[in-house]
Amino acid sequence: MGFQRAVVTGGAGFLGSHVCVELVRQGTDVVCVDDFRTSSPRNLGGVLTHDRFEMVIADVAEPLDVRGRVDLVMHLACPASPVDYLRMPVDTMRSGGFGTLHALELARRDNARIVIASTSEVYGDPLEHPQRETYWGNVNPIGPRSVYDEAKRFGEALTQAFHREYAVNTGIVRIFNTYGPRMRAGDGRMIPTFFQQAQAGEPLTVHGDGRQTRSLCYVDDLVRGLLAMAHSDHCGPINLGNPEEVTVLDVAERVIEVTGSRSVVRHVEPMPDDPRRRCPDITLAHRVLDWRPKVSLHDGLRAMAGRVPADIG
Ligand code: NAD
C-alpha cells in the first residue's frame, strides 16, 4: 500500500525533487517544505502545478507549520555540497539539528513513518573498508567539514532518541555519493564540476593525486532505495550507495569520454579532510530492503551527458 500524504523537506533539491516526483507518480499527496537556499523551484518542473503537490516555503530550522495529517516524512533538507555548507556553517548545523528535531516532532504528532537522510560523511575519513553500518567513524569534530558531518551525527542520535523514548517509526539512511540530472553546475560536487569543465573545454581539476576513491550511485537507484526504506519499518542506519569503487582520476577520464570533450586533467591542491576511500557495504540494504543499485557508472554518466534517455535502468 502506498502512502496517502507525505512531507518531503528539502524537496526542491537534487534528491528531494526526484523523491517528490516519484511519490506524486505513485499517487501520494506531497507537501514539499523548502526555502530554496541551495536549489530552485525549477527542479520541480511540472509537478509544481500538480493537484497532489503543495509547496511550503519555510526554513526547517523553525517549527514546521504543516496542516493536516501525514503518514510519511522524508527529511532531506540540509545543505549537502561542500561549497554550500562551508559557505553557511552555522545554518548547516541549524538545518541538521533543529531541522531534524522539527521533522521528528511532525512524525511524532501524526504517528508517521520518518526517513532521515544521513550521509556516508558520518564515517569521516574511515579506517575500515568498505564501511559497514556498525563502524563508528573517524571524524574530525572541529575541521571545516565538521559542521556537516557532526550535524548529521547529531541528527542520527536525535532520531534514535525519538525512536527509543517516543517509539517514533524512524529510519536512518546513510547516503553515499549520488549523481544524476538536476545537480547544480557549480555546486562544488565532483560530477557536476567535471561535467561543467568538460563541456566548457576547460581542464578537469582533480584534487591531489586523484587516486582517492569514490563510489557513485545513480539518482534513480538511490530514490528507489529511499522509498524502500520508507516502506520498511527498519530503524537503520542502512547504507545506500553503489559499492563499485572508482578513483577520482578514473571518473574524470570517463566524463571526458562520455562528453566527447578535448579537456585534460589538471591536478590541484588536496582538499582538507578529503577522505582517501569511500565505499559502502550494502549487505544490510540488500537483506532488509531487497535493494541494490542497477545503473552502472558508465550508463549513469552517459544519461547525464544527454547521450541516452534519463530513464535508463
Ligand atoms: P541539495 O542541496 O540539492 O538539496 C537540499 C535541499 O534542502 C535544497 O532544496 C535546500 O534549499 C533545502 N534546504 C537546506 N536547508 C534548508 C532549511 N534549513 N530549510 C528548508 N530547506 C532547506 O542536496 P541533495 O544532494 O539533494 O541532498 C539531500 C539530502 O541528502 C541532504 O540531507 C544531504 O545531506 C543528503 N545526502 C546527499 C548526498 C548526495 O550525494 N546527493 C549524499 C549524502 C547525503
Domains parsed from the chain with CATH numbers? 5-179+217-242+279-294 (3.40.50.720)
The angle, 0 to 180 degrees and rounded to 10, between the axes of the packed helices 146-166 and 100-110 is 20
In the reported structure, the alpha carbon of residue 262 is separated from the centroid of ligand 1 by a whole-number distance in angstroms of: 33
Q: Confirm or reject: Cβ of 80 under 6 Å from ligand 1.
A: yes
Nearest-atom index, ligand 1, CA of 39: 9
Q: Confirm or reject: Cβ of 239 under 6 Å from ligand 1.
A: no
pLDDT at 71 (0 to 100): 98
pLDDT at 308 (0 to 100): 45
CB 76 within 8 A of CB 6: no
Nearest one of 76, 79, 70, 101 to 7, comparing CA atoms = 70
Cα gap 306→258, rounded to integer Å: 9
Nearest-atom index, ligand 1, CA of 58: 20
The pick from 8, 14, 95 for probing ligand 1's pocket by mutation, whose C-beta has the most ligand atoms within 8 angstroms, reads 14
Q: Confirm or reject: Cβ of 57 under 6 Å from ligand 1.
A: no
Residue 228: its H or E element? helix 219-231
Closest-CA residue, ligand 1 atom 15, reads 78
Residue 32: its H or E element? strand 29-34
Cβ count near 232 (within 10 Å): 18
Q: Confirm or reject: Cβ of 175 under 6 Å from ligand 1.
A: yes
Cα gap 121→147, rounded to integer Å: 11
Residues designated catalytic: 148
Burial class (CB in 10 A: 0-12, 13-18, 19+), 201: exposed
Q: What string of pLDDT tens digits covers the 313 residues of the chain?
A: 799 999 999 999 999 999 999 999 999 999 999 999 999 999 999 899 999 999 999 999 999 999 999 999 999 999 999 889 999 999 999 999 999 999 999 999 999 999 999 999 999 888 998 999 999 999 999 999 999 999 999 999 999 999 999 999 999 999 999 999 989 877 788 999 999 999 999 999 999 999 998 899 999 999 999 999 999 999 999 999 999 999 999 999 999 999 999 999 999 999 876 777 878 999 999 999 999 999 999 999 999 887 543 332 2
Q: In this structure, what DSSP letter does residue 186 have? A: T
